[in-house]
Structure 1
């Protein structure tokens, strides 16, 4: 009942995740990312502990494949987990436990890995990966947003989507973009509206944090 992806922008070095589902509050449980390091998705019968643990493994020098193998080996209930990882080099890995429900699928493509479970069909991740790759000149968050929209257009979950998240990290310890819809009648249009409004000011929010003297004055 979740479809998601991790993406990397080779031009900026940014990493990001996008995820949506018919349950509420998905952004608090599934996506984890750290600037200059990579990202982790943990879903199906979600264990949010796997995200920070996966980032710790990447930080220790593990590749995506090595971090995934260590997560699976150390997780007693791995048969219920669906996990994806991207490392700092852009390498990807994913795991489907035997109890993860169908339709489930994953697609690895340059700069991204897309996956899902309990989807309307197995073509959803491929549609997401294609949309993500279509315009590499766009900001990473826009490409991730378009991927979610393409996944829904391809069939998505087949049920109304209630929550969604757009997460991008870049240079700082705090997120560059962190937008969440936790409970909505139509999560993706709501997230699209939030992103369109946030996009013009995303760099200014970083300036306010790291160099407040250079920040633009508020518009009265």
Structure 2
């Protein structure tokens, strides 16, 4: 019911996850990232414990491949799960259990991994990877381009209704965590619109947290 990618920006070290599904609120259950450590998507009959577990393992020094191998050992009903990971060196790994739903497949390269289930065809994850690799600009722009490429390649077998994008970079919280939890329209385009609005303000929100004395005006009524 889901297609996604995890990625690292080779220039900045920023990590990101983008995901979409026919299920509601997919990003709340499936997207995980930690600055300086990596990014993980845990999907297909989701076990939300697997994302933090994989990040903890990578934070302890395991590569993405080693962390996913350990998740396979520790996870419950792992034959039903898909887990995608990228680490701080740009290494990637994917587990897709044999009980993944419908047409399921995966693709990966340096700094990016994609997987999906209940897909329209088995070329969707490779289209997502190719979309990410050929896109330019901010990591958020590249994640949106990749998800659009996956949708153009067929996406899920049925309509998608929710999507999300998370970015982490240098601070302990996500610098962007954009979600569309349900829509009858395209949730990926909803996230893209939110990103267009949020992107110019991203650095200002970080500054407001670190030192509001140096922050730009809030631009709201009563703000001077």
Paired position in structure 2 for 1:139: 138
Q: Note the C-alpha offset of 1:110.
A: 2.2
Unaligned runs of 5+ in 2: none
Q: Note the C-alpha offset of 1:61.
A: 1.0
| 2: CA distance, partners of 1:176 / 1:91 | 22
| 2: CA distance, partners of 1:173 / 1:15 | 12
Any residues of structure 2 matched to 1:186-205 within 5 Å, and which? 186=185, 187-205=187-205
| 2: CA distance, partners of 1:178 / 1:218 | 20
**Structure 1 stretches of 4+ moved >3 Å:** none
Paired position in structure 1 for 2:31: 31
Tell me the TM-score normalized by structure 1.
0.97
Paired position in structure 1 for 2:159: 160
| 3-state secondary structure, aligned to 2:11 | coil
| 3-state secondary structure, aligned to 2:184 | coil
Paired position in structure 1 for 2:96: 96
> CA deviation digits over 1:173-210, x for unaligned, max 9?
01111100001112112111111111111111111111
Any residues of structure 2 matched to 1:63-142 within 5 Å, and which? 63-136=63-136, 138-142=137-141
Q: Note the C-alpha offset of 1:88.
A: 1.1
> CA deviation digits over 1:154-173, x for unaligned, max 9?
10003221110010100000
Paired position in structure 2 for 1:176: 175
Unaligned runs of 5+ in 1: none
CA RMSD of aligned residues (A): 1.0
Q: Note the C-alpha offset of 1:135.
A: 2.9
Q: Note the C-alpha offset of 1:218.
A: 2.6
Paired position in structure 1 for 2:51: 51
| 3-state secondary structure, aligned to 2:164 | strand
Q: May I ask how many residue pairs the two structures share in their alignment?
A: 219
| 1: CA distance, partners of 2:146 / 2:76 | 32
> CA deviation digits over 1:55-83, x for unaligned, max 9?
11111111111111111111230110011
Paired position in structure 2 for 1:62: 62
